[in-house]
Structure 1
Amino acid sequence: MGRPREVTDEQILVAARRCFLERGAGVSAADIGRELGVSHTTLFNRFGSKEGLMLAALGPTKEIEWVVALDKGPDKRPIREQLIEHAKVMSHFFQDLQAGFGILQAAGIDPGKAHRACTGESGPEQAYRALVSWLTRAQQQGRLARCDVGTLASTILAALQGWAFTARICGGPARAAASGDYVERFIDVLWNGIGSRTPSA
Protein backbone atom coordinates (compact mmCIF):
# COMPACT_ATOMS: atom_id res chain seq x y z
CA MET A 1 0.00 0.00 0.00
CA GLY A 2 1.42 3.39 -1.06
CA ARG A 3 2.17 6.21 1.30
CA PRO A 4 -0.62 8.78 1.81
CA ARG A 5 -0.29 11.80 -0.41
CA GLU A 6 1.40 14.74 1.30
CA VAL A 7 -0.33 18.09 0.80
CA THR A 8 0.64 21.48 2.15
CA ASP A 9 -1.68 23.77 4.07
CA GLU A 10 -1.54 26.18 1.13
CA GLN A 11 -2.69 23.49 -1.32
CA ILE A 12 -5.55 22.61 1.01
CA LEU A 13 -6.64 26.24 1.32
CA VAL A 14 -6.49 26.87 -2.42
CA ALA A 15 -8.60 23.80 -3.16
CA ALA A 16 -11.05 24.51 -0.33
CA ARG A 17 -11.53 28.13 -1.38
CA ARG A 18 -12.21 27.13 -4.98
CA CYS A 19 -14.70 24.45 -3.90
CA PHE A 20 -16.57 26.77 -1.54
CA LEU A 21 -16.74 29.63 -4.07
CA GLU A 22 -17.86 27.35 -6.91
CA ARG A 23 -20.29 25.13 -4.98
CA GLY A 24 -21.24 27.02 -1.86
CA ALA A 25 -20.97 26.45 1.88
CA GLY A 26 -22.54 22.99 1.65
CA VAL A 27 -19.40 21.42 0.19
CA SER A 28 -18.20 18.77 2.63
CA ALA A 29 -14.67 18.30 3.92
CA ALA A 30 -14.84 14.81 2.40
CA ASP A 31 -15.48 16.33 -1.05
CA ILE A 32 -12.52 18.66 -0.69
CA GLY A 33 -10.35 15.85 0.62
CA ARG A 34 -11.20 13.68 -2.40
CA GLU A 35 -10.05 16.42 -4.76
CA LEU A 36 -6.74 16.55 -2.91
CA GLY A 37 -6.38 12.81 -2.59
CA VAL A 38 -6.49 12.86 1.22
CA SER A 39 -9.06 12.00 3.87
CA HIS A 40 -11.29 14.59 5.51
CA THR A 41 -9.56 13.78 8.81
CA THR A 42 -6.37 15.24 7.35
CA LEU A 43 -8.20 18.54 6.83
CA PHE A 44 -9.61 18.49 10.35
CA ASN A 45 -6.21 17.62 11.82
CA ARG A 46 -4.79 20.73 10.13
CA PHE A 47 -7.64 23.19 10.71
CA GLY A 48 -9.64 21.70 13.59
CA SER A 49 -13.11 21.65 12.01
CA LYS A 50 -15.00 22.57 8.87
CA GLU A 51 -15.56 26.04 10.31
CA GLY A 52 -11.84 26.39 10.93
CA LEU A 53 -11.15 25.32 7.35
CA MET A 54 -13.70 27.79 5.98
CA LEU A 55 -12.30 30.68 8.00
CA ALA A 56 -8.76 29.92 6.86
CA ALA A 57 -9.76 29.46 3.21
CA LEU A 58 -12.26 32.30 2.86
CA GLY A 59 -10.95 34.90 5.30
CA PRO A 60 -8.26 37.51 4.68
CA THR A 61 -4.74 36.34 3.94
CA LYS A 62 -1.99 37.05 6.46
CA GLU A 63 0.09 38.82 3.82
CA ILE A 64 -1.35 40.98 1.05
CA GLU A 65 0.63 40.79 -2.18
CA TRP A 66 -0.18 44.28 -3.42
CA VAL A 67 1.14 45.78 -0.19
CA VAL A 68 4.62 44.68 -1.32
CA ALA A 69 4.14 46.55 -4.61
CA LEU A 70 3.09 49.70 -2.74
CA ASP A 71 6.13 49.44 -0.48
CA LYS A 72 8.39 49.58 -3.54
CA GLY A 73 6.90 52.71 -5.10
CA PRO A 74 6.12 55.06 -6.50
CA ASP A 75 8.22 54.59 -9.63
CA LYS A 76 8.97 57.11 -12.39
CA ARG A 77 5.68 56.74 -14.26
CA PRO A 78 2.92 59.34 -13.85
CA ILE A 79 1.37 59.10 -10.37
CA ARG A 80 -2.18 59.05 -11.69
CA GLU A 81 -1.35 56.05 -13.89
CA GLN A 82 0.22 54.20 -10.96
CA LEU A 83 -2.65 55.07 -8.63
CA ILE A 84 -5.18 53.62 -11.08
CA GLU A 85 -3.06 50.49 -11.49
CA HIS A 86 -2.78 49.94 -7.73
CA ALA A 87 -6.46 50.73 -7.17
CA LYS A 88 -7.55 48.14 -9.75
CA VAL A 89 -5.52 45.47 -7.95
CA MET A 90 -7.00 46.56 -4.60
CA SER A 91 -10.50 46.51 -6.06
CA HIS A 92 -10.08 42.93 -7.26
CA PHE A 93 -8.71 41.96 -3.84
CA PHE A 94 -11.71 43.43 -2.01
CA GLN A 95 -14.19 41.78 -4.40
CA ASP A 96 -12.49 38.43 -3.84
CA LEU A 97 -12.60 39.00 -0.08
CA GLN A 98 -16.30 39.90 -0.21
CA ALA A 99 -17.03 36.70 -2.14
CA GLY A 100 -15.41 34.69 0.64
CA PHE A 101 -17.28 36.59 3.34
CA GLY A 102 -20.53 35.89 1.51
CA ILE A 103 -19.93 32.14 1.74
CA LEU A 104 -19.05 32.41 5.45
CA GLN A 105 -22.26 34.33 6.15
CA ALA A 106 -24.27 31.75 4.18
CA ALA A 107 -22.82 29.11 6.50
CA GLY A 108 -23.82 31.13 9.56
CA ILE A 109 -20.22 32.02 10.40
CA ASP A 110 -19.32 35.54 11.49
CA PRO A 111 -16.65 36.79 9.01
CA GLY A 112 -15.23 38.87 11.86
CA LYS A 113 -13.84 35.66 13.32
CA ALA A 114 -11.38 35.52 10.41
CA HIS A 115 -10.02 38.96 11.32
CA ARG A 116 -9.92 38.20 15.03
CA ALA A 117 -7.98 35.00 14.40
CA CYS A 118 -5.13 36.91 12.72
CA THR A 119 -2.01 37.65 14.71
CA GLY A 120 0.30 40.60 14.15
CA GLU A 121 -0.57 43.37 11.70
CA SER A 122 -4.02 42.74 10.24
CA GLY A 123 -4.85 42.99 6.55
CA PRO A 124 -6.63 46.36 6.89
CA GLU A 125 -3.71 47.71 8.93
CA GLN A 126 -1.22 46.51 6.31
CA ALA A 127 -3.23 48.10 3.51
CA TYR A 128 -3.67 51.43 5.28
CA ARG A 129 -0.03 51.63 6.36
CA ALA A 130 1.31 50.79 2.90
CA LEU A 131 -1.00 53.19 1.07
CA VAL A 132 -0.27 56.06 3.47
CA SER A 133 3.47 55.50 2.97
CA TRP A 134 3.12 55.36 -0.82
CA LEU A 135 1.06 58.56 -0.93
CA THR A 136 3.47 60.28 1.47
CA ARG A 137 6.44 59.48 -0.77
CA ALA A 138 4.56 60.73 -3.83
CA GLN A 139 3.72 63.93 -1.97
CA GLN A 140 7.30 64.41 -0.82
CA GLN A 141 8.41 64.12 -4.43
CA GLY A 142 6.07 66.96 -5.34
CA ARG A 143 3.89 64.65 -7.41
CA LEU A 144 0.73 65.01 -5.30
CA ALA A 145 -0.91 68.15 -3.96
CA ARG A 146 -0.57 68.84 -0.23
CA CYS A 147 -3.36 67.09 1.67
CA ASP A 148 -3.84 64.80 4.65
CA VAL A 149 -2.60 61.46 3.31
CA GLY A 150 -4.26 59.51 6.10
CA THR A 151 -7.66 60.83 5.09
CA LEU A 152 -6.87 60.25 1.42
CA ALA A 153 -5.78 56.65 2.03
CA SER A 154 -8.92 55.97 4.10
CA THR A 155 -11.09 57.47 1.35
CA ILE A 156 -9.52 55.30 -1.35
CA LEU A 157 -9.74 52.08 0.66
CA ALA A 158 -13.30 52.78 1.80
CA ALA A 159 -14.46 53.52 -1.74
CA LEU A 160 -12.95 50.33 -3.13
CA GLN A 161 -14.33 48.20 -0.30
CA GLY A 162 -17.72 49.87 -0.69
CA TRP A 163 -17.78 49.06 -4.40
CA ALA A 164 -17.01 45.41 -3.66
CA PHE A 165 -19.70 45.23 -0.97
CA THR A 166 -22.32 46.89 -3.19
CA ALA A 167 -21.51 44.58 -6.11
CA ARG A 168 -22.06 41.53 -3.88
CA ILE A 169 -25.09 42.67 -1.89
CA CYS A 170 -26.95 44.56 -4.61
CA GLY A 171 -25.96 42.40 -7.54
CA GLY A 172 -23.89 45.11 -9.15
CA PRO A 173 -21.50 44.42 -12.05
CA ALA A 174 -18.47 42.90 -10.33
CA ARG A 175 -16.80 41.79 -13.56
CA ALA A 176 -13.28 43.06 -14.20
CA ALA A 177 -14.27 45.57 -16.90
CA ALA A 178 -16.95 47.20 -14.75
CA SER A 179 -14.61 47.31 -11.77
CA GLY A 180 -11.88 48.88 -13.89
CA ASP A 181 -14.26 51.53 -15.19
CA TYR A 182 -15.34 52.39 -11.66
CA VAL A 183 -11.75 52.69 -10.46
CA GLU A 184 -10.77 55.00 -13.32
CA ARG A 185 -13.81 57.24 -12.77
CA PHE A 186 -13.17 57.34 -9.02
CA ILE A 187 -9.50 58.29 -9.40
CA ASP A 188 -10.51 60.93 -11.97
CA VAL A 189 -12.79 62.51 -9.37
CA LEU A 190 -10.05 62.46 -6.76
CA TRP A 191 -7.40 63.71 -9.14
CA ASN A 192 -9.03 67.13 -9.46
CA GLY A 193 -8.12 67.69 -5.82
CA ILE A 194 -4.91 65.71 -5.29
CA GLY A 195 -3.12 65.94 -8.62
CA SER A 196 0.13 67.91 -8.66
CA ARG A 197 0.08 71.03 -10.78
CA THR A 198 3.42 69.90 -12.23
CA PRO A 199 2.77 68.43 -15.72
CA SER A 200 5.51 65.78 -15.35
CA ALA A 201 3.97 64.26 -12.19
Structure 2
Amino acid sequence: MSPRPRSTSDETILAAAARVIWRVGPELTLADVGEEAGVSAAGLVQRFGSKRGLLLALAEQTAAEAPGHFAAARELYASALDTLLHALAAIAREIDTPDALANYLAFQHIHLGIPEFHACALLQARTTLAEIRTLLEEAMESGELAECDPDDLSRTVQTAYTGALSTWAVYRSGTLDDWLRGEVEAVLEPYRP
Protein backbone atom coordinates (compact mmCIF):
# COMPACT_ATOMS: atom_id res chain seq x y z
CA MET A 1 0.00 0.00 0.00
CA SER A 2 1.46 3.37 -0.99
CA PRO A 3 1.36 6.29 1.45
CA ARG A 4 -1.31 8.94 1.07
CA PRO A 5 -0.17 11.84 -1.06
CA ARG A 6 0.71 14.99 0.83
CA SER A 7 -1.85 17.69 0.31
CA THR A 8 0.26 20.40 1.94
CA SER A 9 3.78 21.04 0.66
CA ASP A 10 6.81 21.40 2.88
CA GLU A 11 7.17 24.97 1.58
CA THR A 12 3.65 25.80 2.75
CA ILE A 13 4.33 24.31 6.17
CA LEU A 14 7.64 26.13 6.55
CA ALA A 15 6.02 29.42 5.53
CA ALA A 16 3.35 28.79 8.18
CA ALA A 17 6.07 28.04 10.75
CA ALA A 18 7.75 31.37 9.93
CA ARG A 19 4.46 33.24 10.40
CA VAL A 20 3.93 31.54 13.77
CA ILE A 21 7.46 32.51 14.84
CA TRP A 22 6.75 36.14 13.90
CA ARG A 23 3.51 36.02 15.89
CA VAL A 24 4.54 34.11 19.05
CA GLY A 25 8.33 33.83 18.96
CA PRO A 26 10.29 30.98 20.50
CA GLU A 27 7.31 29.67 22.46
CA LEU A 28 5.62 28.23 19.36
CA THR A 29 4.25 24.70 19.43
CA LEU A 30 3.66 22.11 16.73
CA ALA A 31 -0.05 22.64 17.32
CA ASP A 32 0.39 26.35 16.52
CA VAL A 33 2.21 25.55 13.27
CA GLY A 34 -0.25 22.80 12.39
CA GLU A 35 -3.21 25.12 12.86
CA GLU A 36 -1.55 27.79 10.70
CA ALA A 37 -0.67 25.27 7.97
CA GLY A 38 -3.86 23.20 8.12
CA VAL A 39 -1.95 20.06 9.16
CA SER A 40 -2.15 18.07 12.38
CA ALA A 41 0.70 18.21 14.88
CA ALA A 42 1.05 14.44 14.41
CA GLY A 43 1.39 14.99 10.67
CA LEU A 44 4.19 17.48 11.31
CA VAL A 45 5.97 14.91 13.49
CA GLN A 46 5.59 12.29 10.74
CA ARG A 47 7.06 14.66 8.19
CA PHE A 48 9.79 16.45 10.18
CA GLY A 49 10.36 14.10 13.12
CA SER A 50 9.95 16.71 15.84
CA LYS A 51 9.55 20.42 16.52
CA ARG A 52 13.34 20.68 16.34
CA GLY A 53 13.32 18.94 12.95
CA LEU A 54 10.69 21.34 11.64
CA LEU A 55 12.59 24.38 12.88
CA LEU A 56 15.88 23.07 11.48
CA ALA A 57 14.19 22.57 8.10
CA LEU A 58 13.02 26.18 8.28
CA ALA A 59 16.55 27.37 9.15
CA GLU A 60 18.00 25.36 6.25
CA GLN A 61 15.42 26.76 3.85
CA THR A 62 16.06 30.32 5.01
CA ALA A 63 19.81 29.91 4.46
CA ALA A 64 19.24 28.41 1.02
CA GLU A 65 16.96 31.28 -0.04
CA ALA A 66 19.58 34.03 0.42
CA PRO A 67 21.04 33.85 -3.13
CA GLY A 68 17.54 33.93 -4.59
CA HIS A 69 16.85 37.38 -3.13
CA PHE A 70 19.91 38.75 -4.90
CA ALA A 71 19.13 36.95 -8.18
CA ALA A 72 15.57 38.31 -8.15
CA ALA A 73 16.84 41.84 -7.49
CA ARG A 74 19.29 41.55 -10.40
CA GLU A 75 16.32 40.88 -12.67
CA LEU A 76 14.72 44.17 -11.60
CA TYR A 77 17.63 46.62 -11.55
CA ALA A 78 20.56 47.52 -13.77
CA SER A 79 22.24 49.44 -10.95
CA ALA A 80 24.37 47.35 -8.60
CA LEU A 81 23.49 49.59 -5.65
CA ASP A 82 19.75 49.48 -6.38
CA THR A 83 20.08 45.69 -6.63
CA LEU A 84 21.87 45.59 -3.28
CA LEU A 85 19.31 47.75 -1.49
CA HIS A 86 16.37 45.82 -2.93
CA ALA A 87 17.86 42.40 -2.13
CA LEU A 88 18.71 43.30 1.45
CA ALA A 89 15.23 44.70 2.01
CA ALA A 90 13.69 41.59 0.43
CA ILE A 91 15.35 39.27 2.93
CA ALA A 92 13.19 40.70 5.71
CA ARG A 93 10.26 41.92 3.61
CA GLU A 94 7.60 39.69 5.15
CA ILE A 95 8.39 40.85 8.68
CA ASP A 96 6.14 43.86 8.86
CA THR A 97 5.82 44.80 12.53
CA PRO A 98 8.32 45.50 15.31
CA ASP A 99 6.77 42.71 17.39
CA ALA A 100 7.20 40.22 14.55
CA LEU A 101 10.83 41.23 14.18
CA ALA A 102 11.42 41.02 17.93
CA ASN A 103 9.91 37.51 17.98
CA TYR A 104 12.06 36.44 15.03
CA LEU A 105 15.24 37.83 16.62
CA ALA A 106 14.42 36.11 19.93
CA PHE A 107 13.92 32.84 18.09
CA GLN A 108 17.24 33.26 16.24
CA HIS A 109 19.08 34.11 19.46
CA ILE A 110 17.95 30.95 21.22
CA HIS A 111 19.11 28.72 18.38
CA LEU A 112 22.54 30.24 17.73
CA GLY A 113 23.99 28.05 20.46
CA ILE A 114 22.89 24.84 18.72
CA PRO A 115 25.52 23.73 16.17
CA GLU A 116 23.11 22.74 13.36
CA PHE A 117 21.17 26.00 13.64
CA HIS A 118 24.38 28.01 13.90
CA ALA A 119 25.65 26.34 10.72
CA CYS A 120 22.53 27.56 8.88
CA ALA A 121 22.92 31.10 10.22
CA LEU A 122 26.61 31.09 9.29
CA LEU A 123 25.86 29.85 5.76
CA GLN A 124 23.25 32.57 5.29
CA ALA A 125 25.61 35.25 6.64
CA ARG A 126 28.53 34.14 4.47
CA THR A 127 26.36 33.88 1.37
CA THR A 128 24.87 37.31 1.99
CA LEU A 129 28.32 38.81 2.59
CA ALA A 130 29.63 37.35 -0.67
CA GLU A 131 26.63 38.74 -2.57
CA ILE A 132 27.13 42.18 -0.99
CA ARG A 133 30.81 42.13 -1.92
CA THR A 134 30.08 41.19 -5.53
CA LEU A 135 27.56 44.00 -5.90
CA LEU A 136 29.92 46.53 -4.32
CA GLU A 137 32.66 45.50 -6.77
CA GLU A 138 30.18 45.91 -9.64
CA ALA A 139 29.22 49.34 -8.28
CA MET A 140 32.88 50.37 -8.26
CA GLU A 141 33.38 49.09 -11.82
CA SER A 142 30.34 51.01 -13.07
CA GLY A 143 31.30 54.21 -11.25
CA GLU A 144 28.44 54.12 -8.73
CA LEU A 145 31.01 53.91 -5.93
CA ALA A 146 34.53 55.25 -5.61
CA GLU A 147 37.37 52.75 -5.31
CA CYS A 148 37.57 51.26 -1.83
CA ASP A 149 38.31 47.99 -0.09
CA PRO A 150 35.30 45.81 -0.97
CA ASP A 151 35.99 43.42 1.92
CA ASP A 152 35.86 46.16 4.52
CA LEU A 153 32.86 47.90 3.00
CA SER A 154 30.88 44.68 2.52
CA ARG A 155 31.35 43.76 6.20
CA THR A 156 30.31 47.28 7.21
CA VAL A 157 27.21 47.11 5.01
CA GLN A 158 26.27 43.71 6.45
CA THR A 159 26.79 44.98 9.99
CA ALA A 160 24.69 48.09 9.30
CA TYR A 161 21.94 45.92 7.81
CA THR A 162 21.95 43.47 10.72
CA GLY A 163 22.03 46.27 13.27
CA ALA A 164 19.21 48.07 11.47
CA LEU A 165 16.96 45.07 12.05
CA SER A 166 17.33 45.50 15.80
CA THR A 167 17.21 49.29 15.89
CA TRP A 168 14.03 49.44 13.80
CA ALA A 169 12.31 47.20 16.35
CA VAL A 170 13.36 49.69 19.04
CA TYR A 171 12.73 53.03 17.30
CA ARG A 172 9.65 51.86 15.35
CA SER A 173 10.03 54.66 12.83
CA GLY A 174 8.56 54.10 9.37
CA THR A 175 8.67 50.75 7.62
CA LEU A 176 11.40 48.18 8.06
CA ASP A 177 12.11 48.43 4.33
CA ASP A 178 12.69 52.19 4.52
CA TRP A 179 14.74 51.87 7.72
CA LEU A 180 17.03 49.19 6.26
CA ARG A 181 17.56 51.14 3.05
CA GLY A 182 18.30 54.33 4.96
CA GLU A 183 20.89 52.70 7.20
CA VAL A 184 22.68 50.99 4.31
CA GLU A 185 22.56 54.14 2.17
CA ALA A 186 24.12 56.11 5.04
CA VAL A 187 27.06 53.68 5.06
CA LEU A 188 27.47 53.91 1.28
CA GLU A 189 27.09 57.70 0.99
CA PRO A 190 30.77 58.59 1.67
CA TYR A 191 31.82 56.23 -1.13
CA ARG A 192 29.58 57.71 -3.80
CA PRO A 193 31.49 59.81 -6.35
The two structures have a TM-score, normalised by structure 2, of 0.72
Pick closer, same or farther for the CA change 1:18–1:182 going to 2, 3 Å.
closer
Offset at residue 142 of structure 1 (A): 2.9
Give the match for residue 61 of structure 1: 63
Offset at residue 140 of structure 1 (A): 1.8
Give the match for residue 9 of structure 1: 10
Offset at residue 162 of structure 1 (A): 0.8
User: Are the aligned partners of 1:128 and 1:153 in contact in 2 as well (CA < 8 Å)?
Assistant: yes
The worse-fitting range, judged by mean Cα deviation, of 156-165 and 136-145 is: 136-145
The worse-fitting range, judged by mean Cα deviation, of 54-63 and 132-141 is: 54-63
Percentage identity across paired residues of the two chains: 27
Q: Which amino acid aligns with 1:62?
A: A
Q: Does 1:137 align with 2:138?
A: yes
Give the match for residue 116 of structure 1: 118
**Per-residue deviation, residues 42-95 of structure 1 (Å, max 9, x unmatched):** 2112222112323433673322232214666961x5x66555444543564898
Pick closer, same or farther for the CA change 1:141–1:67 going to 2, 3 Å.
same
Give the match for residue 172 of structure 1: 171
Pick closer, same or farther for the CA change 1:126–1:70 going to 2, 3 Å.
farther
User: Are the aligned partners of 1:135 and 1:149 in contact in 2 as well (CA < 8 Å)?
Assistant: yes
Gap runs ≥5 in structure 1 = 197-201
Residue 147 of structure 1 aligns to a residue whose secondary structure is: coil
Alpha-carbon distance between aligned partners in 2 of 1:19 and 1:125, rounded to the nearest angstrom: 26
Q: Which has the higher helix share?
A: 2
Alpha-carbon distance between aligned partners in 2 of 1:34 and 1:81, rounded to the nearest angstrom: 39
Pick closer, same or farther for the CA change 1:117–1:44 going to 2, 3 Å.
farther
Pick closer, same or farther for the CA change 1:165–1:58 going to 2, 3 Å.
farther
Give the match for residue 127 of structure 2: 126
In our comparison, the structure showing a higher alpha carbon Rg is 1
The two structures have a TM-score, normalised by structure 1, of 0.69
CA RMSD of the aligned region, Å? 3.6
User: Are the aligned partners of 1:4 and 1:38 in contact in 2 as well (CA < 8 Å)?
Assistant: no
